[in-house]
């Protein structure tokens, strides 16, 4: 297993829509393993393949606080099919936008359909932080970032800061 590089804003790849995965095979499962290693090392609770510069509709999530109780969720082609009307605010961070936290109101529960690591179709009902993490990662697959929930002024300030940092490290 390998730790991959997480791309950061202003990388334009973060704004691309990820392509569906045609078949779950050993390469996909290896990428899942590498994504999990990367997510745990970061540390984070979710990671989309696009964040490691792979524009495929794949996400990994693990909301366990304790490394001894890890329970990773690996999803291929996740699709949210139902969202509750009840909204809940969470302060969200993103591995592709270090040190940025955004308060976002999202549906408290979601139902998601996806393909698991064995290539089997699954349906999952999620609530609370898991529902938030799923919505956050699916947003990544559609080229959407947490800063898109901010006003244009606040978003532009953050984008300028990341562009400046990228120029300084280039």
CATH number at residue 82: 3.90.45.10
Q: Could you tell me if residue 44 is inside a domain?
A: yes
Residue 53 lies in a domain: yes
Give the number of domains in the chain: 1
pLDDT tens digits, residue range 5-64? 999 999 999 999 999 999 999 999 999 999 999 999 999 999 999 999 999 999 999 999
Q: What is the pLDDT of residue 9?
A: 95
Residue 132's domain comprises 12-169
Residue 161 lies in a domain: yes
Task: Determine how many CB atoms are found less than 10 A away from the CB of residue 130.
Answer: 20
Q: Please indicate, yes or no, if residue 139 is contained in any of the structural domains.
A: yes
What was the pLDDT predicted at 127?
97
| Assigned domain for 142 exists | yes
**Quick check: 116 pLDDT over 90?**
yes
Residues 6+ apart with CB under 8 A from 56: 18, 19, 20, 21, 28, 31, 49, 50
* DSSP assigned state of 142: T
pTM for this one?
Answer: 0.95
CA 59 to chain centre: 6
Residue 1's pLDDT is what?
A: 63
Cα–Cα distance list, 55 to 48, 126, 146 (Å): 9, 25, 18
Catalytic residue set:
137
What pLDDT does 67 receive? 86
Q: What is the pLDDT of residue 18?
A: 98
Asked, for residue 45, whether it belongs to a domain, the answer is yes
73 pLDDT tier (thresholds 50, 70, 90) = very high
Q: Residue 25's closest CA among 48, 56, 52, 66?
A: 56
Residue 68, in any domain of the structure: yes
Nearby residues of 164 by Cβ (< 8 Å), 6 or more positions away: none
């Amino acid at each position: 297993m390998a730790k991959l590089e997480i791309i950061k804003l202003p990388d334009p790849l973060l704004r691309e829509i990820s392509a569906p995965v045609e078949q779950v095979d050993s390469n996909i499962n290896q990428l899942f393993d590498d994504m999990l290693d990367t997510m745990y090392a970061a540390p984070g609770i979710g990671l989309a393949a696009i964040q490691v510069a792979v524009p495929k509709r794949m996400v990994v999530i693990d909301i366990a606080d304790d490394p001894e109780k890890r329970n990773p969720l690996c999803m291929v082609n996740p699709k949210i099919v139902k969202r509750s009307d009840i909204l809940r605010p969470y302060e969200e961070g993103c591995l592709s936008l270090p040190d940025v936290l955004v308060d976002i109101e999202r549906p408290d529960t979601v139902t998601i359909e996806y393909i698991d690591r064995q290539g089997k179709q699954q349906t999952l009902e999620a609530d609370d932080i898991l529902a938030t993490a799923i919505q956050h990662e699916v947003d990544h697959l559609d080229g959407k970032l947490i800063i898109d929930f901010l006003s244009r002024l606040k978003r532009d300030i953050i984008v300028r800061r990341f562009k400046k940092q990228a120029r300084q490290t280039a």
